[in-house]
Each structure stands twice: as structure tokens, then as C-alpha cells.
Amino acid sequence: MHTYIALFRGINVGGKNMLPMKELVHVLERFGCEQVKNYIQSGNVVFQSRENLSHSFADVIGSDIAETHGFKPKVFLLGLDELQAALANNPFSTEDGKALHFFFLDAVPSHPDWETLAAVQSKSEQFKVIGKVCYLYAPDGIGRSKLASKIEGCLGVPVTARNWNTMQELISMATELNQHSRI
């Protein structure tokens, strides 16, 4: 069994693109996914598959939701190893789990606009891009961060963000699924 994490961007936010988690679980089960578990209502799903899924499976999921619910969410599909690597490569303090954010990138940026990112970065903020993850430490809050709102545009690739606390929960859920499949 292979363990995966699907991160859905922009569902169930502000009353738009509503997709009950029970229905999202059914979408994945229709594609043969097993042990599908969600974390909070904003689209964090851990599941297993007997098949080794490619990243293109994320688009299949999004297209299915478009057909059944009338909107196509951007879906980021990560293997457990990719999620673990993102945590291991984190260059910032983890003391305040709400201040540390992981922006998962759809691709490695080819022409990032570093100047604009540096220009909007506050004195308390730090960021670093490593592969397909942009790490943002925003101790004054992500809602106040001009840098956070510019990351996608300046990197030139679609992104979705999760904070450290959510990442810890997803790792825990995925690791537990992975261990149970070995028994």
C-alpha cells in the first residue's frame, strides 16, 4: 500500500466551493483509494492506494469534483516521503506552529521574482524556497503578511499553504495509516 496526502486549495473557504468532507471521501473511494481520512474542513486528506499514483492523479480528482460539484479545486498530491522531506528541510523555528507555513508549489519556480518578495517582506518575516516548498515564518500572523499574499504571483506557480500544526497532524495521520498497512 502507498500512503498519500491530498491538499485541496480553496474549498470550504468563506462559504464558497463547498464540498462536505464526507463527499470528498466518497470521491476518493470511487477511484479505489482506501482508508480515506480527512483533517479539518478545508481539504486535507490522507489515504492509501494499492497503485503507485502519479502527480497527475491530482488533476483527475479535481476534474471529477468539477463534474459533480461545479467547481474544480487545485489539488496537490504528495507521498508520505515528500511530506516528511518537507518537514525535515524546514529551516525555521517550530516553537509557534501558527507562525510557520509551508507553501507547496505545483512546480519548481523557473523565473521567481525575488526582488518583489524582498520588497514586501516585513522585518520579522523570513522565507526560503527549497525545491517545491516555500517556507514562510511570519510571527506577526499570515493574515497581516504582504509577503504571504505575493508568494504565488512572484514564484509564478500555483501554491497551497498549511501551517506547522496542520503539517504535524497530517504526518501523524499518514504515518499511522502507513504503519497499519504493514501489519
Rounded distance between C-alpha atoms, residue 66 and residue 68, angstroms: 6
Whether residue 113 sits in one domain with residue 64: no
pLDDT at 182 (0 to 100)? 63
CA proximity to 82, closest of 177, 5, 166: 5
User: CATH number, domain at 24?
Assistant: 3.30.70.1280
pLDDT at 131 (0 to 100)? 94
Whether residue 41 sits in one domain with residue 62: yes
Whether residue 175 sits in one domain with residue 153: no
Rounded distance between C-alpha atoms, residue 111 and residue 166, angstroms: 29
Tell me the three cell numbers of residue 80. Answer: 508520505
pLDDT at 101 (0 to 100)? 96
Whether residue 148 sits in one domain with residue 95: yes
Whether residue 130 sits in one domain with residue 74: no
pLDDT at 82 (0 to 100)? 93
Residues 6 or more apart whose CB falls under 8 angstroms from that of 72 comprise 62, 63, 65, 66
Whether residue 115 sits in one domain with residue 44: no
Mean pLDDT in runs of 10 for the chain (183 residues)?
A: 91 76 90 92 88 91 91 93 94 89 96 95 95 96 92 96 93 88 61
Residues 6 or more apart whose CB falls under 8 angstroms from that of 98 comprise 141, 163, 164, 165
Whether residue 80 sits in one domain with residue 10: yes
Whether residue 117 sits in one domain with residue 107: yes
* pTM (predicted TM-score): 0.91
Q: Give the total number of structural domains in the chain.
A: 2
Extract long-range pairs of 24-27: CB within 8 Å, 24+ residues apart. Answer: 24/65, 27/61, 27/64, 27/65, 27/68
Whether residue 23 sits in one domain with residue 6: yes
pLDDT at 16 (0 to 100)? 77
pLDDT at 21 (0 to 100)? 85
- 3-state SS, 38-85, equals EECCCCEEEEEECCCCCCCHHHHHHHHHHHHHCCCCEEEEEEHHHHHH
Whether residue 47 sits in one domain with residue 8: yes
Q: Which domain holds residue 154?
A: 86-163
Whether residue 144 sits in one domain with residue 103: yes
Residues 52/59/16/117 CA torsion (nearest 10 deg): 90
Whether residue 152 sits in one domain with residue 133: yes
Residues 6 or more apart whose CB falls under 8 angstroms from that of 49 comprise 1, 2, 4, 32, 33, 34
